[in-house]
Amino acid sequence: MKQRFAFTMVELIMVIVVFGIVASIGAEIITSLYNNYLRTRAINQLQGQTEIVLEQIAKRLQYRIKDSVRVTTDDGATWRALPDAIQTVAGDHTIVEWIGISNESFLGDWNGTANVPGWSGLIDMEHANTREGTKTLETPGSHLDFARTIIQALTDNVVDMNNENGNLPALIFKGAKPLFDVNKYYSQGTNNYTVRIANDTNTSFHIPTDDNLTDFDQDGIGNGDLFEQYYLSHSAYAIMPDSPSATDFTLLLQYNHQPWQGDTYPNAPQTILAEHVSTFRIRQEGNVVRIKLCIHDNNQSGDFDFSACKEKVIY
């Protein structure tokens, strides 16, 4: 009779035990690898998101009227120019607002031989069209019809240089501001720094009759309301948190409001910049603006909450 060989019961049990140990160790390794993957993915996503949000803010602040940047920590009850802002600490909420240069309408249009800017940034003080009596300003080298079209598109037709009874863009002149007050950029009228304008021709502005621009600086001594160089603006911007939570809030961008028309940032259109923000701080040193932003994961990738913090400098 042929002899047969087989595993004994003890051997089978030992094999099963060994396989169980190996499987247990393998499961732990796989679980650990998966958790590490989730952590790495969460960190990379947070770092990428933080960088993108900072870049969006920086692109807007890059084309700012530098002296118009102001901040509040009491929901707009009081404002300070950014260089004079009180240093904030973790948990403090800062709302920052500024008037932007209309860079998109400045870039210009190709006329077949050259690229003509939408607005040149210069007023010809000696031109026959630059007169206090007629409230007109000649801006040679401009293509205001093109600038008007771009501004209309950017504001969903809310701002129109052809409608003096509606929302108009503003001129802000480069020049000395006696008794500087950052809040004067956000009002229109006597002793303020903005002047509403409509287009009179393709190369000249018309100032509405109810705007006060009474002292041209044609004597060149710097005491007038008008200077040769100007910025054109169609919008102010504000960055604000959506809630008083110190560690978890949504950061919003308010845009397309014209403070020289009486608009305020809380009533402006808004878009979400980032959710689950734990820190947003802004400060200015000289002409350099520094922004710090921290966004956390909020346990969206598992039972852990990572945070990514980045800073950006804008000149």
Q: What per-residue confidence (pLDDT) applies to 62?
A: 92
Q: Are residues 225 and 245 in the same domain?
A: no
Residue 73 in domain: no
Residue 12 in domain: no
Q: Are residues 120 and 82 in the same domain?
A: no
For residues 130-163, one letter each, b for 16 or more C-beta atoms within 10 angstroms of the residue's C-beta and e for the rest, the string is bebeebbbbbeebbbebbbbbbbebbeebbbbee
Q: Are residues 228 and 252 in the same domain?
A: no
Q: Are residues 150 and 208 in the same domain?
A: yes
Residue 14 in domain: no
Residue 147 in domain: yes
For residues 88-103, one letter each, b for 16 or more C-beta atoms within 10 angstroms of the residue's C-beta and e for the rest, the string is beeeebbbbbbbbbbe
Residue 38 in domain: no
| 70 bridge partner residues | 81, 97
Q: Are residues 222 and 245 in the same domain?
A: no
Q: What per-residue confidence (pLDDT) applies to 85?
A: 78
Q: Tens-digit pLDDT profile for the chain (315 aa)?
A: 555 566 677 767 777 777 777 777 776 777 777 777 777 777 888 888 899 999 999 999 999 999 999 998 888 888 999 888 776 555 456 899 999 999 999 987 776 777 778 999 999 988 988 887 788 899 998 999 999 999 999 999 999 999 888 899 999 988 767 778 899 899 877 778 888 999 888 999 988 876 666 555 544 444 556 778 999 999 999 999 887 667 789 999 999 999 999 999 999 999 999 999 988 888 888 888 999 999 988 766 666 677 889 999 998
Give residue for tokens 């409608």: 163
Closest CA to 79 of 67, 95, 65, 66: 95
Structure tokens belonging to residue 21: 């140990």
Number of domains, the chain: 2
Are 185 and 172 in contact, with CB atoms under 8 Å apart? Answer: yes
Q: Are residues 229 and 160 in the same domain?
A: yes
Q: Are residues 124 and 229 in the same domain?
A: yes
Residue 26 in domain: no
Spatial separation of the C-alpha atoms in residues 103 and 120, rounded to whole Å: 11
Q: Are residues 181 and 111 in the same domain?
A: yes
Spatial separation of the C-alpha atoms in residues 100 and 105, rounded to whole Å: 12
Which range marks the domain in which residue 147 is found? Answer: 103-233
Q: Are residues 176 and 212 in the same domain?
A: yes
Q: Are residues 112 and 218 in the same domain?
A: yes
Q: Are residues 135 and 225 in the same domain?
A: yes
Q: Are residues 273 and 287 in the same domain?
A: yes
